[in-house]
Amino acid sequence: MSSERGGGARRLAAADLREMKRRGDKIAAITAYDYLFARLVDAAGVDLVLVGDSLGQVVLGLGSTLAVTLDDMIHHARAVRRGVDRALLVVDLPFLTYQVSREDALRNAGRVMQETGAAAVKLEGGSPETCDTVRALVRAGIPVMGHLGFTPQSVNLTGTRVQARTDDGAARLLEDARRLEEAGAFSVVLELVPGTVAQTVTEALQIPTIGIGAGVGCDGQVLVLHDMLGLNPGFAPRFLRTFADVGQVAGDGVREYVRTVKAGEYPGPEHTF
């Protein structure tokens, strides 16, 4: 339990991830979007819980992350915060909440921190302009996680495909990662990047890398909870491993409930006051 709830355990902070990299300890990260799943993944021992704008697809039924709003993120992050005692809680800044101006980024990231109790925010890209925003957020006391490689908020420009396949692309990725580190980011997600490129970036940085579809050479891994629990049927990218088929179990349970209700078997005498 956290000190906020009267226990003795300490919540992880951004600096703890850098220390984990120094020790060679792998970082286990996962998404969550509600209180019950947040409580479950935190109790299971994950180091980082990400309230990702992937909630657009897996929770809200949208076609991409682009329609997710800041209010959506804050609503779900507040619920997740109530379920997390130990893990570092990071919240995505959604599309166009940080790209227009540094003032917007500060205002919107500040809302996330104040209204959710998150420990950090995440944003996409590593351009000089983006890194100026990262620098401003860090100066304001807001820890920032970067995100490079395939960046879902830019899907209309890049498509959904592996990034940094060429020598030039790999060099740009490394340059962006170094720029983010220099700007003060405490970690960087590498998504859909060749494993050799991700490992090169990981070895070049003092801050940890968290991979998704980026091979084993990163300092940690992140998956979308609904994907790795089999709750998103039909989504099966090469990098994904399904660790439990919760979707099948849940479907079987609901079908059995429907059968017993229609057969007049439920509720039985044991379920009646």
| Residue in 191, 203, 265, 270 annotated catalytic | 191
CB 94 within 8 A of CB 69: yes
Contacts of 61 (CB under 8 A, 6+ apart): none
Nearest 5°: CA angle at 85, between 73 and 6? 130
Q: Is 232 exposed, middle or buried (0-12, 13-18, 19+ CB in 10 A)?
A: middle
Annotation marks residue 191 as catalytic? yes
The residue whose two tokens read 């180091």 is 47
CA distance 105 to 134: 9
Nearest 5°: CA angle at 194, between 29 and 63? 60
88 closest CA partner among 33, 142, 50, 40 = 50
Residues serving a catalytic function are 191
